[in-house]
Structure 1
Amino acid sequence: MATIQDVAEKAGVSVATVSRVLNGSSRVAEETRSRVQQVIDRLGYSPNLLGSQLRKMRTQTVLVVLPSISNPFYSRVVKGIGDVAKAHAYHMLLCNTDSSPELESYYIGLLRKKMADGMILMESGLSGEEMEKLSALYPMVQCSEYREGIFVPRISIDNRKAARDAVDHLAERGHRRIGLLTVNNTLISTVERNRGYADSLQQHGRPWDAEAVFTGDYTYSSGVMAAQRIARMGKPVDGVFALSDMMAIGLMKGLKQEGFRIPEDISVVGFDDISFASICEPALTTVNQPRYSLGERAMQLLLRRIRGEGTGDESITLAHSLIIRQSTR
Structure 2
Amino acid sequence: MRDKSETAPASARPLLTDIAERAGVSLATVDRVVNRRKGVKERTRQRVLEIARELGYLTETQGGFYEAERPRNIVVLLPSGSNPYLRLLGDQLRERVERSAPDDPFLRCYFIESFNAQALAEALRRNAGWADGIAFFAIEHPLVREAAVEVLAAGTRLVTIVSDLGSLPEIPHVGLDNRAVGRTAGLLIGRLAKQPSGSVALVAGSRHYRAHSEREAGFLSILEELFPHLRVVGMREGHDDAGENYRHTLGLFDQAPDLVGIYNVGGSSGGITRAMRERDRLEVVFIGHGLTPDTRRAVVEGAMDVIFDQDPDALVDRALRCLSEQAPVARPLKFDIYFRENLP
2:308 to 287, 307, 311: 287
Instruction: Give the alignment's TM-score, normalised by structure 1.
Output: 0.70
The answer on 1:254 being equivalent to 2:269 is: no
Residues 170 and 78 (structure 1), Cα distance of their counterparts in 2 relative to 1, 3 Å cut:
same
CA offset at residue 127 of structure 1? 4.0
Looking at structure 2, the residues matched to 72 and 217 of structure 1 have their Cα atoms a distance apart, in angstroms, of: 13
CA offset at residue 147 of structure 1? 0.7
Residues 106 and 277 (structure 1), Cα distance of their counterparts in 2 relative to 1, 3 Å cut:
same
Match for residue 132 of structure 1? 149
Cα deviation code 1:64-100 (max 9, x no counterpart): 1112164322244445556667254333222222044
Q: How does 1:150-229 map to 2 (within 5 A)?
A: 150=168, 151-174=170-193, 175=195, 176-177=197-198, 178-206=200-228, 209=231, 211=233, 213-229=235-251
Query: Which ranges of structure 2 fall in alignment gaps of 5 or more residues?
Result: 1-38, 46-67
CA offset at residue 323 of structure 1? 1.3
**DSSP-derived class of the 1:232 partner:** helix
The answer to whether the 8 Å contact 1:286/1:322 transfers is yes
Looking at structure 2, the residues matched to 239 and 292 of structure 1 have their Cα atoms a distance apart, in angstroms, of: 30
Count of residues in correspondence between the two structures: 267
Residues 195 and 118 (structure 1), Cα distance of their counterparts in 2 relative to 1, 3 Å cut:
same
Residues 207 and 185 (structure 1), Cα distance of their counterparts in 2 relative to 1, 3 Å cut:
same
Looking at structure 2, the residues matched to 272 and 157 of structure 1 have their Cα atoms a distance apart, in angstroms, of: 13
Looking at structure 2, the residues matched to 110 and 148 of structure 1 have their Cα atoms a distance apart, in angstroms, of: 23
Q: How does 1:81-160 map to 2 (within 5 A)?
A: 86-87=100-101, 88-99=103-114, 100-101=116-117, 103-113=119-129, 115-124=130-139, 126-136=143-153, 137-150=155-168, 151-160=170-179
Match for residue 29 of structure 1? none
Cα deviation code 1:191-242 (max 9, x no counterpart): 1111111022112232574535433221111221122113313533111111
Match for residue 71 of structure 1? 83
Could you say what the CA RMSD is over the residues aligned between the two structures, in angstroms? 3.1
Looking at structure 2, the residues matched to 52 and 195 of structure 1 have their Cα atoms a distance apart, in angstroms, of: 49
Residues 251 and 53 (structure 1), Cα distance of their counterparts in 2 relative to 1, 3 Å cut:
farther
Residues 197 and 52 (structure 1), Cα distance of their counterparts in 2 relative to 1, 3 Å cut:
farther
The answer to whether the 8 Å contact 1:84/1:296 transfers is no
Looking at structure 1, the residues matched to 122 and 236 of structure 2 have their Cα atoms a distance apart, in angstroms, of: 35
CA offset at residue 102 of structure 1? 5.1
Q: Which letter maps to 1:141?
A: V
Looking at structure 2, the residues matched to 303 and 173 of structure 1 have their Cα atoms a distance apart, in angstroms, of: 43
CA offset at residue 315 of structure 1? 5.5
Q: Which letter maps to 2:83?
A: N
% identical aligned pairs:
16
Looking at structure 2, the residues matched to 276 and 321 of structure 1 have their Cα atoms a distance apart, in angstroms, of: 17
Match for residue 275 of structure 1? 293
| Structure with the larger RCO, 1 or 2 (CA within 8 Å, 6+ apart) | 1
Instruction: Give the alignment's TM-score, normalised by structure 2.
Output: 0.67
Q: Which letter maps to 1:104?
A: L
CA offset at residue 169 of structure 1? 0.9
Match for residue 61 of structure 1? 73
The answer to whether the 8 Å contact 1:183/1:216 transfers is yes
Residues 212 and 70 (structure 1), Cα distance of their counterparts in 2 relative to 1, 3 Å cut:
closer
Cα deviation code 1:155-214 (max 9, x no counterpart): 110111112112211211245332222344321111111111102211223257453543
The structure having more radius of gyration, on CA atoms, is 2
Looking at structure 2, the residues matched to 254 and 110 of structure 1 have their Cα atoms a distance apart, in angstroms, of: 41
Q: Which letter maps to 1:67?
A: P
Match for residue 60 of structure 2? none
Match for residue 325 of structure 2? 304
Looking at structure 2, the residues matched to 234 and 188 of structure 1 have their Cα atoms a distance apart, in angstroms, of: 27
